[in-house]
A and B are shown apart, each in its own frame.
Chain A
């Protein structure tokens, strides 16, 4: 292995200096580069889920209306509040992304107290988001449960039972001709909704666990002894990615 040499002094052209070996051409460590590559693969997993959702939606002649499906909020039973609760969830996730980047920033300056403070806030934000999602899931499972769960593909289910997912204002009344298509698209909509937000929620859950792990390491002084807080940066990348995915989930399910 004697051929390994630090940025060769005799190297004259730029390519040789960058790719000649002995140092990282990307100026990142192995771990950070691999985190980026992992996130790239995860992008394609989420992309595949969202694109198949889009494909199914284009396939369907009628589709549930987001403002009608997501119209409830805790503590306001029966009040029509479209998008309000999910906007709150989105805001919480954005804020937790901000506190995470502040933890990374504190790590850049070896500020242990700052890292601990901002990681704690990030964990609080993550748990808040998960609690909100738990409420929303319970609520929607209740709305679609009981009589309806598994009944969307049963043609004996009356059209009136699913009208509320399509909105009740003028121009959104389902006609008898829509019956089969409406049942099928409601079925598809909720399948994709629970699958994709569930997959995202699992990412948030593991992100919270990673955050707790690096918080413990920070408190124990592991990174202080190591001389840098790169692990906070790597977990930070993962956490921002979770926020990034939510930006697209929010658009695809709640807005368009």
Chain B
């Protein structure tokens, strides 16, 4: 962690002035390296691979969207497959394109844990909509 050994005067500047000097992300590992280097090319080929994966998933989604109903695939299966493919795409974008996979674990958890709330939001609001439909289409003498 020698990169973080600043003297006290420097720190005063870092905390009150130019925050960007605290930057120690992926960039700091490539100082002086060329974009033509083997490490750089390896990274680019990984990006291209993810691009192809995203494109293929989207193509499958569109194909399923066009033919799924006519092919007699049950609606719930259709929806489940769409959701799995959507979350897979989202995971690739966040992990590779947004470089969240390269961050430290604490940082990753800080971003991801709040999203757990969505599980409850989605279940609660869809169930509520479903219940309203049930109430509107049911004639019970009260």
Q: Among B35, B89, B130, B136, find the residue whose CB has the most chain A CB atoms closer than 10 A.
A: B35
Interface string of B103-126 (1 = CB under 8 A from A): 110110011001101100110011
Asked if A36 is an interface residue, CB under 8 A from chain B, the answer is yes
Asked if B20 is an interface residue, CB under 8 A from chain A, the answer is yes
Extra inter-chain contacts (6) besides given A58-B132, A256-B79, CB under 8 Å: A4-B11, A22-B11, A28-B107, A30-B19, A61-B136, A255-B64
CA distance A98 to B54 in the complex (A): 10
CA distance A219 to B128 in the complex (A): 53
Contact of B65 among A26, A30, A67, A230 (CB under 8 A): A67
CA distance A44 to B114 in the complex (A): 10
Report if A26-B129 is in contact (Cβ < 8 Å); known contacts: A4-B12, A108-B26, A108-B30: no
- Give the interface SS of chain B, mostly helix, strand, loop or mixed: helix
Asked if A107 is an interface residue, CB under 8 A from chain B, the answer is yes
Do B104 and A27 touch (CB < 8 A)? yes
Measured between beta carbons, the chain B residues less than 8 angstroms from A5 are: 8, 11
Asked if B139 is an interface residue, CB under 8 A from chain A, the answer is no
Number of B interface residues, CB 8 Å? Answer: 72
Chain A's interface size range is 35 or more
Contacting A at CB under 8 A, from B31-66, are: 33-35, 37, 40, 43-44, 47-48, 51, 54-55, 58-59, 61-62, 64-66
Do A97 and B97 touch (CB < 8 A)? yes
Do A28 and B4 touch (CB < 8 A)? no
Measured between beta carbons, the chain B residues less than 8 angstroms from A236 are: 98
Do B55 and A91 touch (CB < 8 A)? yes
Measured between beta carbons, the chain B residues less than 8 angstroms from A29 are: 19-20, 22-25
Asked if B6 is an interface residue, CB under 8 A from chain A, the answer is yes
Do A247 and B65 touch (CB < 8 A)? no
Q: How far is the CB of A248 from chain B (nearest CB, A)?
A: 6
Instruction: Tell me how many residue pairs across A and B have CB atoms closer than 8 Å.
Output: 195
Contact of A6 among B7, B24, B110 (CB under 8 A): B7
Do B54 and A94 touch (CB < 8 A)? yes
Measured between beta carbons, the chain B residues less than 8 angstroms from A141 are: none
Report if A1-B65 is in contact (Cβ < 8 Å); known contacts: A30-B19, A55-B129, A111-B35: no
A-B contact pairs, 21 of them (CB 8 A): A2-B8, A4-B15, A5-B8, A25-B104, A28-B107, A30-B19, A31-B20, A40-B111, A47-B121, A51-B126, A58-B126, A58-B128, A58-B129, A58-B130, A94-B51, A100-B97, A108-B26, A108-B27, A109-B40, A255-B62, A256-B78
Contacting B at CB under 8 A, from A93-144, are: 94-95, 97-98, 100-102, 104-109, 111, 114
Measured between beta carbons, the chain A residues less than 8 angstroms from B94 are: 240, 244
CA distance A135 to B66 in the complex (A): 22
Do B22 and A24 touch (CB < 8 A)? yes
Contact of A83 among B51, B62, B107 (CB under 8 A): B62
CA distance A247 to B66 in the complex (A): 17
Q: How far is the CB of B39 from chain A (nearest CB, A)?
A: 9
Q: Which residue of B lies closest to A229 (CB)?
A: B27
Do A28 and B58 touch (CB < 8 A)? no
Do B110 and A255 touch (CB < 8 A)? no
Report if A255-B122 is in contact (Cβ < 8 Å); known contacts: A59-B129, A243-B93: no
Do A114 and B12 touch (CB < 8 A)? no
CA distance A154 to B61 in the complex (A): 36
